[in-house]
Amino acid sequence: MNLSILKSDKKNLNSFIVAGSVLIFIGFIDIILSSFFSTNITAFLPNKISYLTPLLFGLFGLYLIRIEFSGNKLLDKVNTNFNSSNFNAFLTLLVIFSLIKYIPPLLNWFVFDANFAGNTKEDCTSGGACWVFVKVWLNRFVYGLYPDNEQWRINTAFLTLFLLVGASFFVPQKFKKYIIIFLLFVYPIIGLKLISGGDFGLKYVETGAWGGLSLTFIVSAFALILCFPIGTILALGRRSKLPAIRYTSIGFIELWRGVPLITVLFMSAVMFPMFLPDGTYVDKLIRVLIAITLFEAAYMAEVVRGGLQALPKGQYEAAKSLGMGYWKMHFLIILPQALKLVIPGIANTFLALVKDTPLIFVVGLLELAGMVNLAKTNPKWLGMAMEGYVFAGLVFWVICYVMSRYSQNLEKKLKTER
Amino acid sequence: MSKIIELKNVNKWFDKFQALKDINLEVNQQEKIVICGPSGSGKSTLIRCINRLEEHQDGQIIVDGKEISENTKDLEKIRAEVGMVFQQFNLFPHLSILDNCTLAPIWVKKMPKKDAEALAMKNLERVQIADQAKKFPGQLSGGQQQRSALARALCMEPKIMLFDEPTSALDPEMIKEVLDAMVDLAKAGMTMIVVTHEMGFAKEVADNMIFMDEGKIVEKAKTKEFFENPKSDRTKLFLSQIL
């Protein structure tokens, strides 16, 4: 079909703009009426075609106003950015119409029709989300089965952690390294002792009772802190000239990378105790932590190795020519550059790790997603799966987004190239 | 004058390719030697063997009285005494110029930070880039980077300096500033082995010239004699092509 008669030139520019705008406007009216007022102005057409009429109107309208060098700044901007071809016009309309059609119901479910007041499932009457469920269970979602009276211990532990981390950003460079050393090597022990108790007059709380978001944080934080150095050592080992070290590293990495995490966790729960002498008992949280750490360390090793390989040979040679031995060369010259290169990869691994933590349910530990799982099976709260999982998903998203932003900032801060 | 470097019948192979063939060479203290020759002739390999960035398979290399081999325990100590300047500068891009210069003195020689910084500033002054000390390598021109690399090597207060085509990666107008710094260093009495194609520099500085081809030292002669009256035909051909 020859549509050239439908192409404007300078003379009838205005009539084309008017005609196009009217068509686009009709498209919008059509979609808005059908989404919000359940009136279909094209109901006389067959069902499927009538569903698509907003798009058709809009497409034809956009086609009419696609006029090159019209002299109208706004129009030119629209044309170059949203309406440069039929396909782009289609995508533009599809996105806008989808938003109009699907965002409002979503918002309704989330906010406008949602229930916030009340304490039981029966208070949720309006048809939207039942956030009462999350409200009632929030304590459990955060602290797991940790006894209510002892929850201040978790609060204290995390508050101290955040204060210390915050402080490390603001204190002068001189003290910074002491805070970081304290955070990495001393604080984890203090924090764990505070939460587990048993000494200093604190009531012992067994790890089976730990849970919820606080357990997510504990597992993630320990695994993150530990898997990083282990992974780095493995990466160096894999590039070592000594065959014994090299093959051990390769073997370790390939073994752990080749096994699904869930299998590793099962093994740590079921098989591992069989190898221990009778009477010895390693707490299952510790076993899980070790399993996750070693698993993620294998991934970390390959990420770091990528960075090591990306460095030019000249860096190694310059370091050697200045009289540096293996460790000095790696810690002063090679690793600072290699790790900087692979920050995106490291962030990737860390995010994956955080999102893998729900798998610890296989050994009976319930972090955030696990607690949601438990709560939704409570007879009084059946049918709340959606609210629970949306909540857990949002929390995970926030955690991961913060980490992602932090890694991007770090990249910018460490950039020394022009 | 006493010998500081001695190579006896050194042979080196890269797999089956023989890069160095029976190299014999003695370098005295404060002597300046310029090595030239076509590419692939083993010049770089030769000087990289002297601080064992490359391993030789046969023969002896003795630096400052210590033999260098796979059994050398204090290789790092020997390397600390032998400074090297590379074709590609090889500055550490994550550190400022000042930190590039102080890193090795602080960590290898255990020098206090203040002394190391004073030493670094002295050497940066010497190559005339003291004003760039706080910048990062990526912010400097090629000539400035190469002079920083020279300063970095000098901060280890080496007894010997090796130069592996120090000006080959530079724009023509930057070559002079690097060569000037090297001439100053030569005048101060440093023992230097320089692989370069800059024959003007060679004539000005070198005591002895070496011409290499196909892994062998074809000709070694006093500088004047080397340029005015080369003995081997291969040298004559080479000189006629580059002069």
Query: Given this model, what pLDDT does residue A101 score?
Result: 85
What single letter denotes the amino acid at residue B119? L
My answer on whether A63 and A139 are in the same domain is no
Does residue A31 have a pLDDT over 80?
Answer: yes
Contacts of B139 in chain A (CB under 8 A): 418
Predicted local confidence at residue A165, as pLDDT: 82
ipTM value: 0.92
At CB < 8 Å, which residues of chain B contact A? 51, 53, 76-77, 79-84, 86, 88, 90-94, 103-104, 107-109, 136, 138-139, 149, 152-153, 156
- Model confidence over A35-87: pLDDT tens digits? 777 777 777 777 777 788 888 888 888 888 887 777 778 888 888 888 888 88
**Sign (positive or negative) of CA dihedral A403, A404, A405, A407:** positive
Confidence of residue A10 (pLDDT cuts 50, 70, 90): low
Tell me, what's the pLDDT at A1?
43
Spatial distance between the Cα atoms of A228 and A231, rounded to a whole number of angstroms: 5
Report H helices in A72-211.
73-82, 86-107, 131-143, 151-170, 173-181, 187-196
Average pLDDT over residues A290-296: 90
- Verify that A136 and A16 share a domain, yes or no: no
Q: Is the pLDDT of residue A409 over 70?
A: yes
Helix A86-107 and helix A13-36, axial crossing angle in degrees, nearest 10: 30
Model confidence at B195: pLDDT above 90: yes
Contacts of A410 in chain B (CB under 8 A): none
Give the tens place of pLDDT for each residue, A335-374: 999 999 899 999 999 999 998 888 888 888 888 888 888 8
Rounded mean pLDDT of A273-299?
Answer: 83
- pLDDT value at A416 more than 80: no
What is the structure's pLDDT at A246? 92
Rounded-to-integer distance, Cα A85 and Cα A70, Å: 16
Instruction: Please indicate, yes or no, if residue A365 is contained in any of the structural domains.
Output: yes
> What size, in residues, is chain A?
418
Q: Which residue of B has its CA nearest to A332?
A: B103
Helix (H, G, I), strand (E, B) or coil at A86: helix
Reported as a pLDDT band with limits 50, 70 and 90, residue A4 is low
Q: How far apart are CA A228 and CA B10, in angstroms?
A: 44
Mark whether A409 and A335 lie in a shared domain. Answer: yes
Q: Which of A74, A60, A73, A54 is nearest to A16 (CA)?
A: A60
Contact A321 B93 (CB under 8 A): no
Instruction: Please report whether residue A200 resides in a domain.
Output: no
pLDDT value for A280: 73
Rounded to an integer, the average pLDDT of A241-258 is: 92
Residues A43, A136, single domain; the answer is no
Tell whether A65 is covered by a domain. Answer: yes
In the numeric block, which tokens belong to residue A284?
């299952």
Domain CATH number, residue A389: 1.10.3720.10
Picking from A115-129, A354-368, B195-209, which range would have the lowest pLDDT averaged per residue? A115-129
Q: Is B62 helix (H, G, I), strand (E, B) or coil?
A: strand
Cβ–Cβ below 8 Å for A323 and B104 = yes
Mean per-residue pLDDT of chain B: 91
What is residue A418's predicted lDDT score, i.e. its pLDDT? 47
Mean pLDDT score, A80-99: 87
CA distance B92 to B109: 18
Distance, first Cα to last Cα, chain B: 32
Nearest to B94 among A319, A321, A336 (CB): A336
B107 and A324 in contact by Cβ < 8 A?
yes
pLDDT, tens digit, for every residue of B20-54? 999 999 999 999 999 999 988 999 999 999 989 99
DSSP A130: B
Residue B58 has pLDDT above 70, yes or no: yes
Distance from CA of B158 to the nearest CA of A (A): 10
Mean pLDDT across B66-80: 85
Quick check: B203 pLDDT over 80? yes
Query: For residues A330-348, b (16+ Cβ closer than 10 Å) or e, as one string?
Result: bebbbbbbbbbbbbebbbe
Which residues span the domain enclosing A65?
Answer: 4-107
Whether residue A139 is predicted with pLDDT greater than 90 in this model: the reply is: no
Q: Nearest by CB to B94, which of A317, A319, A337?
A: A337
- Considering the domain architecture, whether residues A317 and A372 belong to the same structural domain is answered as yes
Is A33 a domain residue?
A: yes
* Domain presence at residue A398: yes
For β-strands B160-164 and B208-213, DSSP reports them as unpaired
Per-residue confidence (pLDDT) for residue A183, from 0 to 100: 80
The answer to whether A347 touches A407, Cβ cutoff 8 Å, is yes
Distance CA A196, CA A289 (A): 15
A154 falls within a domain: no
Closest residue, chain A, to B85 (C-alpha): A318
Nearest to A322 among B108, B136, B139 (CB): B108
Question: pLDDT grade, residue A6 (50/70/90)?
Answer: low
| Contact residues on chain A for B91, CB-CB shorter than 8 A | 318
Number of domains in chain A: 2
Q: How far apart are the first and last CA of chain A?
A: 55
Question: Are A392 and A247 part of one and the same domain?
Answer: yes
- Residue B220: pLDDT band with limits 50, 70, 90: very high
| A174 falls within a domain | no
pLDDT score, position A321: 93
Copy the structure tokens of residue B9. Answer: 């019948």
Nearest to A337 among B84, B93, B152 (CB): B93
Same domain, yes or no: A225 and A346: yes
What local confidence, expressed as pLDDT, does residue B122 receive?
Answer: 93
Of A321, A333, A414, the CB nearest to B84: A321
Of residues B93 and A172, more confidence is placed in: B93
What does the block give as tokens for A391?
A: 């909540």
CA distance B38 to chain A (A): 22
Q: For residue A162, what pLDDT band results from cuts at 50, 70 and 90? A: confident
CB neighbour list of residue A178: distance below 8 Å, 6 or more residues apart: none
Residues A385 and A306 in one domain: yes
Question: Count of CB atoms within 10 A of residue B22's CB?
Answer: 15
Whether residues A84 and A139 share a domain: the answer is: no
Task: Please give the pLDDT value at position A374.
Answer: 83
Query: Looking at residue A33, what is its pLDDT?
Result: 84
Q: Is the pLDDT of residue A329 over 90?
A: yes
Contact A42, A30 (CB under 8 A): yes
Rounded (10°) angle between helices A284-310 and A343-356: 160
Contact B80 A417 (CB under 8 A): no
Q: Which residues pair with A381 in a beta bridge?
A: none
Do A135 and A103 fall within a single domain?
A: no
Q: CA distances (Å), A137 to each of A119, A121, B112, B157, in order? A: 10, 12, 59, 69
- Is B95 in a helix, a strand, or coil? coil
Query: Cβ separation of A416 and B90 shorter than 8 Å?
Result: no
Which of B53, B79, B139 lies closest to A323 in CB terms?
Answer: B79
Residue A361 is predicted with a pLDDT of: 86
Q: Are residues A18 and A141 in the same domain?
A: no
Residue ranges with strand state E in chain B: 3-14, 17-28, 32-36, 58-63, 66-67, 82-85, 160-164, 191-195, 208-213, 216-222
**Mean pLDDT along residues A273-282:** 75
Confidence (pLDDT) at A84: 82
- Say yes or no: A68 contacts chain B, CB-CB below 8 A: no
Asked if the model's pLDDT at residue B208 lies above 90, the reply is yes
State percent of chain B over pLDDT 90.
70
Q: What is the mean pLDDT of residues B206-231?
A: 91
Q: Does A137 lie in the same domain as A98?
A: no
- The proportion of chain A whose per-residue pLDDT surpasses 70, expressed as a percent, equals 96
Count other Cβ atoms within 10 Å, centred on residue A138: 14
Q: Is the dihedral of CA B124, B127, B131, B132 positive or negative?
A: negative
312-351 of A, contacting B, C-beta below 8 A: 312, 314-315, 317-325, 328, 332-333, 336-337, 340
Say if residue A12's pLDDT is above 70: yes
Is position A240 within any domain?
yes
pLDDT tens across A216-238, in order? 888 898 888 888 899 999 999 99
- pLDDT-derived band at A8 (thresholds 50, 70, 90) equals low
Chain B neighbors of A321, CB-CB under 8 A: 51, 53, 79, 82-84, 86, 153
- In chain A, which residue's Cα lies nearest the Cα of B154? A322
A361 alpha carbon, distance to own chain's centre: 19
